[in-house]
Amino acid sequence: MAFMRRWMTSHWTDSRTLLKKPMVFTEFGKSSKDRGFSIASRDSFLNAIYSNICSLARSGGIGGGLLWQLVAEGMESYSGYEIDLFQTPSTSSVISQQSRQMTALEHKISRP
């Protein structure tokens, strides 16, 4: 997780100082095909990513995060990254909480 935090922070810094553009972290997730996978470990991973996003967003310049990938109930699982919110209410709760937190930070995100 330390690498992930450093990676996110360095990209956020570049976005603000070099590019002078807001950013969104995209296509992150945890595959159910990974050794030792559990829904709890995925929820913990998503919480860590989202916590870092919120922390950086408080300073401005982060528009949010887009995990990989939400699917509709009954869709096939190919890569292991699929999340069916009806099948995993704990993950649904993690994502919902992130949405509420980012909404509360909207005033920091929408600055020109």
What is the tens place of the pLDDT at every residue in 81-109? 999 999 999 999 999 999 999 998 876 65
A 10 A CB-CB count for 23 gives 18
Could you report how far apart the first and last alpha carbons of the chain are, in Å? 31
> Is 17 inside a domain boundary?
no
> Is 9 inside a domain boundary?
no
111/85: higher pLDDT: 85
State which residues form the domain around 34: 26-72+82-112
Give me the residue label for tokens 């994502």.
95
> Is 33 inside a domain boundary?
yes
Q: How confident is the model at residue 112 (pLDDT cuts 50, 70, 90)?
A: very low
Model pLDDT for residues 63-77, shown as the tens digit of each residue: 899 999 999 988 888
Count structural domains, the chain.
1
- Alpha-carbon torsion (53, 59, 61, 63), positive or negative: positive
**CA separation (Å) from 109 to 41, 98, 102?**
29, 14, 9
CA 4 to mean position of chain CA atoms: 12
> Is 11 inside a domain boundary?
no
